[in-house]
Amino acid sequence: MATQRAADADPALLAQRKWFLINSQEALRELMSSENGLSSTEAESRLQRYGPNELSYASSTPWWRVLLRQFLSPVIGVLVIAAVISAATDHPVDAIAISLILGLNAALGFWQERKAEADVRALQSLSVDTCRVLRDATEHVVSAADVVPGDIVLIESGERIPADMRLLQANALRVDESMLTGESVAASKRSAAVPVDSPSAERSNMAFSGTFVTSGRGVGVVTATGVHTQLGEINALVQGPAGTGPLQMLTHKLERRIGLIVLVSVTAVFVAGVLTGNSISEMFRTAVALAVASIPESLPIVLTVAMSVGVSRMATRNAILRTLPSVETLGSTTVIASDKTGTLTQNRLTVERIWTPDSTVDVTAADGQATESPTIKAVLLTGALTNEATRGGSHSELTGDAVDVAMARTALEFGVLSEEERAETPRAHMPYEPDLRYSQTVRVDERGRRVLHVKGSADTLLSMSDSLARHSGTSELDHKLVQDANSRMAADGLRVIATATRTLEPGEELSSPLPTPSGLTFLGLQGMSDPPRADVAAAIRACQEAGIAVKMITGDQPLTATAIAKRLGLPTDVPPLTGAEMAELDDDALTVRLAEVSVAARVTPQDKLRIVRLLQAADHVVAVTGDGVNDAPALKAAAIGVAMGRSGTDVARESADLVLTDDNFVTIVHAVEQGRVTFAAIRKATFFLLSTGAAALLAMSANVVLNQPLLFLPLQMLWINIVTNGVQDIALALEAAEGDELKRPPRDRTEGLLSRTLWYRTGITATWMAVAILVVFTWAFESGMPEVEARTFTLTVFVALNFFQVLSARAQYRSLFQLNPLGNKLLLFTSVGALLLHWGAMQWSVSAEILGLTPLSPWQWAVCLGVGSSVLLIVEAEKLVRRSSHRREPSLA
């Protein structure tokens, strides 16, 4: 009955069984399978019951939802209302003009979102297509999607595991589980049951979906498929909604504020106008003009363009962004929680130190002369010969167990032997056995002697040896000398492998399998680790200078993680946080601990997710980097997730906002810098648009209250906001870096889209421009100018004010006269071009008729430019006062 219930169990319950606790025969009985596999009929039946062996990825956002999102802004909503009112009040030109602007903004935003999504979809490539199973007692190659619980799967070196399995056989089987555990060293596998308290990373009789077989071969019975595998369970954690980035929150807040102010102002002006005797039709048109004048229609376009430029600049430096706002979020980051393996390190085990009784060599600094030592050469030779790393072709990479690959590569690079010599067939060979903790091989040396080469753990080889190799020959075995050297290397986070050798006697027979070695001469030790990537230490220093804390979060051993942290320049004076310690701490205590540590080791995906959420609760903007499935939940929860494009898994990339095509932490620092440049450009453009929009709102509101003729027509305000301002503010959004972006701390999160200084400057400049506009219009109208000419004269003054205001916006504290006038050539050309375009619109009769303009005389133009330059003088005076008082804010525009 128990067997029947297990075979027919719900897939989720079946996956939760602790298969590692029972022996292989019990597992087969529970799954109603056998060593000959399922029958084809039963496999088909189970496929219908359990479903395909596939993960569920988040589906693409429907195109119509992406398009609809472009109209959900309160600012855009007011413009939609203005377009409807214009059409209803028989002003089709105004309605069409506003609609065209709305359409342009929506099209640009729609294109950018869809393009970013397509870029990431194109990166998905890691999958298991087929695998070998036993069905009807015969080996078959089937689609991995058709694998079902109870299937017997055959695996060997170079293959990915298609589903979670309980191993029935394991012959020198080693599996790279770094995508799940974060450990760079392949896990040794066996078929025997393991203790009940074994963590997932130490369940040696289990093999998990998506992991990679580096050496050996095995047979397993499938216990879970698809969404019920460990990989699938982690994938489920990342299917929730993504967090909202700082820029999104700031812009939404600003848009709501602008929308509310405009609606209140327009309503008040409309009511006041009607009460003072104006017709409802005229006040409707006035209300539309006021709404158009107040709203920075081009702000969404400016934001999109600035972020698009940031995205393009990042793409040239190996970073692909899924969503535009992510470009700024990086600039706001206060903590980078980085995975170790493959992100900070190379994810390639490398021999770094060689110890012999006579000398110690730092391999990374050696110049080749170190191999002149016969004992060093002997250590390298034995490591390369007692080895199962293979090469597909003469120029292909070595593949196999990471330890074997590292030892073979080092010996070949130092010229100790050739590839042909290494690949010669041994006289006898025994691969590494985890239970025995050593491997051995017999080779013939250059003098024709048979030599036994052995490599394994230091303790194991010491028990088999009776002498030490020296430059001068051999000496008595010194256990303490070797054990002390082994301890020092282990304390430095190195994985230590010992080597020993013995020349066989001419008549000595070899049995099969090879007997346990004895009488060996102990050669030395090789210490290896997954080394840091080049320039990562410098990148971390740059982060620290920029006020960004870097925390290494890994599933690796604390000792290894701490050793790597030291080499990277991360603080290690506080002991690392561990997953076991986290389980005993409540959220408050863990938050305190997180503020102290730079390293968290032996953590699970759930632990990493908890760390990210607690850091966010402590008011940090957290960026998470990683490449494995174990990183995916934290990648999704972070303000910005950064996944690896080369070595990363589909699940990690699907969860991330930023994908690094070169898998390099250094690229993140470049992205942070670009994020700050982008936000500074957005801030400058926003200041310019808000100050000019506020000036128009104040001027037109006062114009109605004073019961004067309409100051500006709706179409004229669109002309100002889009044709002239719209060209200049986009150019302002492309302002280059000022060079000190990584010398400043992250922006204060209590600040809005504008700093306090820029809000103050917005207020004084908007007020001054509004007063100037009203004074000019009143003077012109009362001096006898026709209404069309007075309106044209005043509109040109406003164009000139915009011209000088955009120039003043290039820097927050520095004077315009200290900047290179050609530092932003596009801004200079577009600003001058805007003036010429406005002049041309007045001169051409067709455009003048549509816009309600008339040509001005040279002296009128001179007055307009003179009044316009006054705003620049006011800003320069205010900057001078701030510089002289040294009241510099930490967040500069």
Per residue in 667-703, pLDDT (tens digit) is: 888 888 888 888 888 888 889 988 988 898 888 888 8
Does residue 244 register a pLDDT over 60?
no
Give residue for tokens 């000959």: 36
List beta partners, residue 456.
438, 498
pLDDT in tens, 4-45: 445 556 666 676 778 888 888 888 988 899 999 999 999 999
**pLDDT at residue number 4:** 43
- Choice between 34 and 262, residue whose per-residue pLDDT is larger: 34
Q: For residue 593, what are the contacts with CB-CB under 8 A and spacing of at least 6?
A: 577, 581, 585
Instruction: Determine the average pLDDT of the residues in 778-783.
Output: 90
Nearest residue to 849 (alpha-carbon basis) of 83, 98, 93? 93
pLDDT in tens, 819-878: 888 888 888 898 898 899 999 999 999 989 888 899 999 999 999 999 999 999 999 999
Return the DSSP state at 747.
P
Average pLDDT, the chain: 82
122-126, 263-267, 284-288, 419-423, range with the lowest pLDDT: 122-126
pLDDT in tens, 594-644: 999 999 988 888 888 899 999 999 989 899 987 777 777 888 888 888 887
pLDDT in tens, 45-73: 999 988 898 876 555 667 677 677 666 66
- Choice between 367 and 589, residue whose per-residue pLDDT is larger: 589
Q: Which two tokens stand for residue 5?
A: 């219930």
Q: Which two tokens stand for residue 30?
A: 């529970």
Does residue 109 register a pLDDT over 70?
no
**pLDDT at residue number 184:** 61
Q: Which two tokens stand for residue 565?
A: 């942290």
**What one-letter code names the amino acid at 92?**
P
**pLDDT at residue number 142:** 92
Global confidence as pTM: 0.67
Does residue 289 register a pLDDT over 70?
no
Instruction: Determine the average pLDDT of the residues in 311-328.
Output: 75
Most confident segment among 108-122, 264-278, 788-802 = 788-802
**pLDDT at residue number 236:** 66
Nearest residue to 711 (alpha-carbon basis) of 830, 643, 795? 795
Q: Is the torsion defined by CA of 422, 427, 431, 433 positive or negative?
A: negative
Q: How many Å apart are CA 455 and CA 441, to the nearest integer?
A: 9
Q: For residue 34, what are the contacts with CB-CB under 8 A and spacing of at least 6?
A: 28, 152
DSSP H or E run through 600: strand 599-601
Does residue 99 register a pLDDT over 60?
yes
**pLDDT at residue number 347:** 77
**pLDDT at residue number 298:** 64
Phi, psi of 91 (to 5 degrees): -125, 70
Find out whether 463 and 479 touch, Cβ atoms under 8 Å.
no
Q: Which two tokens stand for residue 398?
A: 């070595």
Q: For residue 825, what are the contacts with CB-CB under 8 A and spacing of at least 6?
A: none
User: Helix axis angle, 74-88 relative to 92-121, nearest 10°?
Assistant: 150
Q: For residue 531, what are the contacts with CB-CB under 8 A and spacing of at least 6?
A: 345, 346, 348, 350, 352, 364
Q: Which two tokens stand for residue 591?
A: 């938050």
Radius of gyration of the chain (CA): 35
Residues noted as catalytic: 339
| pLDDT over 70, % of the chain | 82
Give residue for tokens 């504008």: 754
Q: How many Å apart are CA 383 and CA 404, to the nearest integer?
A: 8
Find out whether 633 and 230 touch, Cβ atoms under 8 Å.
no
The overall longest dimension of the chain from CA atoms, in Å, is 125
Which runs of E-coded beta strand occur in 263-363? Answer: 319-321, 335-338, 350-355, 360-362
If one counts every other C-beta atom within 10 angstroms of the C-beta of residue 198, the result is 16
- No. of helices (H) and no. of strands (E), the chain: 33, 26
Instruction: Determine the average pLDDT of the residues in 100-123.
Output: 57
- Choice between 378 and 98, residue whose per-residue pLDDT is larger: 378
Classified as helix, coil or strand, 163 is: coil
**What DSSP string describes 622-671?**
EEEEE-SGGGHHHHHHSSEEEEESSS--HHHHHH-SEEETT--HHHHHHH
Instruction: Determine the average pLDDT of the residues in 458-484.
Output: 93
List beta partners, residue 453.
441, 501
pLDDT in tens, 724-771: 676 787 788 788 777 777 877 887 766 777 888 888 999 999 999 999
**pLDDT at residue number 861:** 95
Give residue for tokens 């391999």: 363
Around 78, how many Cα atoms within 13 Å sit in the side-chain half-sphere?
A: 26
User: Could you tell me the domains of the chain?
Assistant: 2-57+129-234 (2.70.150.10), 278-316+673-885 (1.20.1110.10), 326-347+533-663 (3.40.50.1000), 351-527 (3.40.1110.10)
Find out whether 529 and 352 touch, Cβ atoms under 8 Å.
yes
Find out whether 165 and 153 touch, Cβ atoms under 8 Å.
yes
